[in-house]
Amino acid sequence: MILELIKADITTIKADAIVNAANSSLLGGGGVDGAIHRKGGKAILDACVAIRNKQGQCKTGNAVITTAGNLPAKYVIHTVGPVWNGESEKNENLLAACYHNSLMLAVENEVKVIAFPNISTGIYHFPKHKAADIAITTVNHFADKEKIEKVIFVCFDDENYNLYLQKLGI
Ligand code: ADP
């Protein structure tokens, strides 16, 4: 499994799947979620509504998969990151679950190339250095790693990009 780092808008990435930092409603929000729904179009929202009608809200740490609508990716994997509230261990485990469950869904759907944004580090205020450690560690320890060809960490802000540069040793 190759790890790649780029600074970009994730809606422009042509991967098999891009991951959305969604909220539990699955009905869209601000930040990367807003960008994905805006650019991906109504097909993504329709698919999210169908999932909600079937299973209700998406719990923190869980993930669901939909079409990517008009985006260049094939799928969007929506995962709900924890809102940072200072309960370190609980929040850290939930963030790790987001990466783990997204990768599990990727494998189930034969996704070979997956792009992650920096989940929870925007509106949800997860400390960026901790979040980067969790993202990299969880991806590196994923049991079915050989089934994924490439994981792209997509950073949007300089602070996250520089943290990942350091932590990935690039
Ligand atoms: P959360 O609610 O999980 O914190 P946000 O969308 O507010 O989600 O932020 C998560 C991360 O996504 C932040 O690091 C933010 O800079 C980044 N981000 C925002 N817009 C985009 C985008 N279009 N592409 C990639 N990353 C983005």
- Asked if residue 160 has its Cβ within 6 Å of ligand 1, the reply is yes
pLDDT of residue 40: 98
Using DSSP, how many helices (H) and how many strands (E) does the chain show? 5, 6
Q: What would the pLDDT profile of 21-59 be if each residue is shown by its tens digit?
A: 999 999 999 999 999 999 999 999 999 999 999 999 999
What is the secondary structure of 92-118 as a DSSP string?
HHHHHHHHHHHHHHHHHTT--EEEE--
Question: Is the CB–ligand 1 distance for residue 32 below 6 Å?
Answer: yes
Ligand 1 contact via 118 beta carbon (within 6 Å):
yes
Sketch out the chain's domains with CATH numbers: 2-168 (3.40.220.10)
82, pLDDT greater than 90: yes
Q: Is pTM beyond 0.95 here?
A: yes
Determine how β-strand 17-22 pairs with β-strand 75-80.
parallel
Give the nearest ligand 1 atom to 124 CA: 4
33 is catalytic: yes
The tokens describing 135, both together, are 């993202």
Nearest to 21 by CA among 116, 159, 156: 116
Strand order from edge to edge, sheet including 2-7 = 2-7, 150-155, 113-116, 17-22, 75-80, 63-67
